[in-house]
Amino acid sequence: MVFLVKVLFTLLMAHESFGMMSSKAMEGYPEGFLGNCPGSNKPAIITKKSLKYLGLVVLGDDSPQSPRKYRSRTYNYYQAKEIAKNPNWDFRRKTILFLGGYLDSPNFFVSQIMGKTYRKMGYNVLLMEANRFLTLHYPISARYVRPIGMHIAEMLTNLTQPGLMDLNKFELAGISLGGQLISFVAKNYHRITGNKIPRLTALDPSGPCFRNNDPENRLDDSDGDLVVVIETNIDGFGMAAPVGHVNFYVNGGEYQPADLYWIPCSVMCSHVRSYTIWYVALHHPKSFIGVKCDSVQEARKHACFGKTPLSTNILSPYYVNASNPGIFYLATDNNYPYYLGEKGLNKDGEFWTKNLIYFNSEEVLKL
């Protein structure tokens, strides 16, 4: 008995001396901000009277010298069929519907800049007007994305079913709460018409009130023929699950690099980086190349490099390889325009590794 006590004491002292190796099993995994919002999946109704506050903006030329008829115009829910009569509408073009996030408006810079970029690319551009419903307390606005999505889908049906818009040339894109809203537009459009929207692009879709939902209550790869997701703040305002066909975890997806290497972007800064990354990708469609990972955890650990054979995908409006789905680590620089091209395919070119190795490259520091 005395011998057993001595052995246990020795083991305990050894444990205290050598310390404890940390592990994810010990530390646990992030739950994510507002993983559950009780009641947010309950029904919400937009009354017939309030539907006049829900609409689509046809983006036009709003320069001072532009004739009034060519400027942007808002069509509410009851005016959807009139969109095709807009002089800015060209049936031969691709069409994008961009959905802003929480507290956003089609008049604010987020939607305006993105819309104008697509317009310069030759798209018909639709912006969502739902400010009345997306400026409430966040959990309430998150609940309203379901009826908003349903009614926006009804508006789109008024364009596609009579042949006023080619569905094969139609795309949805959204940021943050808008990145979840595109899911409900797509789900309801499929329910009404039996057809799937060809492409959805989600820019760090909201995790709060959605991250623990089932596929019917969040963005999912079943929503469209191709669902592309950009992840930049997965434990904060974004979500960690790879819910698209092709999922780009930018610098691991947790936080984005800032001007000081050891101080990352804050939650909002990292969340909004998804917008800037996509804006640059629209202008430089072959410049963001991601390396395939085996898991989200591998992306978090920046451990996707060095695999043989090398498997990549391009974050692009044109060149995403839909036949190569999965999780991709996308390395970027810390300054605009962020892309690294092929340099981002090697760990030596990866931002965090490159700079941290440089700081402690001396074998012995002397001061």
* Residue 353 confidence (pLDDT): 77
Please state the rounded mean pLDDT for residues 356-364: 82
Q: Cα-flanking dihedrals φ and ψ of residue 257, to 5°?
A: -70, 145
As a whole number of angstroms, the distance between CA 355 and CA 349 comes to: 9
pTM > 0.85 = yes
Instruction: Give 65 or 6, the one with higher predicted confidence.
Output: 65
Please list the alpha-helical segments (H only) found in the chain. 2-18, 24-27, 109-120, 138-160, 177-193, 267-283, 296-300, 351-359
What does the pLDDT average to over 238-244?
97
Structure tokens at 355: 């700079």
Contacts 24+ apart (CB under 8 A), 255-261: 256/232, 256/332, 256/334, 257/332, 257/333, 257/334, 257/351, 257/352, 258/334, 259/334, 259/335, 261/334, 261/352, 261/355, 261/356, 261/359
pLDDT tens per residue across span 317-351: 999 999 999 999 999 999 999 999 999 999 887 88
Task: Report percent pLDDT > 90 for the chain.
Answer: 75
Residue 93 lies in a domain: yes
Report residue 4's pLDDT band, with 50, 70 and 90 as the boundaries.
low
Pair 52, 80: CB distance under 8 Å = no
Tokens 């974050």 label which residue? Answer: 315
The answer to whether 302 and 329 are in contact (CB under 8 A) is yes
Q: Which of 26-35, 46-55, 158-167 has the lowest mean pLDDT?
A: 158-167
42 assigned to some structural domain: yes
Total structural domains within the chain: 1
Tell me the average pLDDT of the chain. Answer: 91
Residue 49 in domain: yes
- Asked whether residue 22 is assigned to any structural domain, the reply reads no
CATH of the domain at 96: 3.40.50.1820
Residue 18 has pLDDT above 80, yes or no: no
Q: Is residue 257 part of a domain?
A: yes
- 190 located within any domain: yes
Quick check: is 115 in a domain?
yes
Residue 119 is part of which domain span?
Answer: 32-359
**What does the block give as tokens for 38?**
């009780």
Give a yes or no: residue 274 inside a domain: yes
pLDDT value, residue 14: 47
CA–CA distance, 72 with 70 (Å, rounded to integer): 7
